[in-house]
Amino acid sequence: MPVREMIKTHPAEINLDRERLADAVLALVDCAQACTACADACLSEENVAELRKCVRTNLDCADICEATARVLSRHTGYDANITRAQLQACVQACSSCSEECGRHAAMHEHCRVCAERCRTCEQMCHNLLDAIT
């Protein structure tokens, strides 16, 4: 993924730690795709009735991660307040989703993989938040 190249070639001043920023965008895009795929995999499982909350949380997490990845991919006219608030929402979504997927990780491999990606994404967003003044 050309995240680092796009950051390096951006003409605007970037008001965020570039390493943490790139790590966060990569983790967000990963997590969004995993959540979209996990929601659909759950939907195909025989025990779909027990996975309702997992599907729903995956869908929320995918939507929130995608919106956050887009916000972090922009540097023109930077507004720290929007970035901070959206990162906080994303940390919450990833935390809830890793917990919910974690409950089904022993039974469904896609939930195990997805829970892991949510945890990584939560951590990367947390690291970036710490660097926003």
Confirm if 30 and 121 have CB atoms less than 8 A apart: yes
Query: In the bound complex, what is the minimum distance in angstroms from residue 131's beta carbon to its own copies?
Result: 18
Catalog residues that contact its own copies under the rule CB under 8 A. Answer: 1-3, 5-7, 9-12, 25, 29-30, 33-34, 36-41, 43-46, 48-49, 52-57, 59-60, 62-64, 66-67, 69-71, 73-77, 79, 81-82, 85-86, 88-89, 91-93, 96, 100, 108-110, 113-114, 117
Using the minimum distance from each CB to its own copies, give the nearer residue, 1 or 131: 1
Using the minimum distance from each CB to its own copies, give the nearer residue, 8 or 130: 8
Confirm if 39 and 55 have CB atoms less than 8 A apart: yes
Per DSSP, the chain holds a count of helices (H) and strands (E) of 5, 0
Query: In the bound complex, what is the minimum distance in angstroms from residue 80's beta carbon to its own copies?
Result: 10
What b/e sequence results for 63-97 when a residue is b if at least 16 CB atoms lie within 10 Å of its CB, and e otherwise?
A: ebbbebbebbeebeeeeeeebeebbeebbebbbbb
Using the minimum distance from each CB to its own copies, give the nearer residue, 16 or 69: 69
Query: In the bound complex, what is the minimum distance in angstroms from residue 46's beta carbon to its own copies?
Result: 8
* CA proximity to 38, closest of 19, 23, 58: 58
Using the minimum distance from each CB to its own copies, give the nearer residue, 4 or 127: 4
Interhelix angle 18-44/80-102, rounded to 10 degrees, is: 40
Query: In the bound complex, what is the minimum distance in angstroms from residue 15's beta carbon to its own copies?
Result: 13
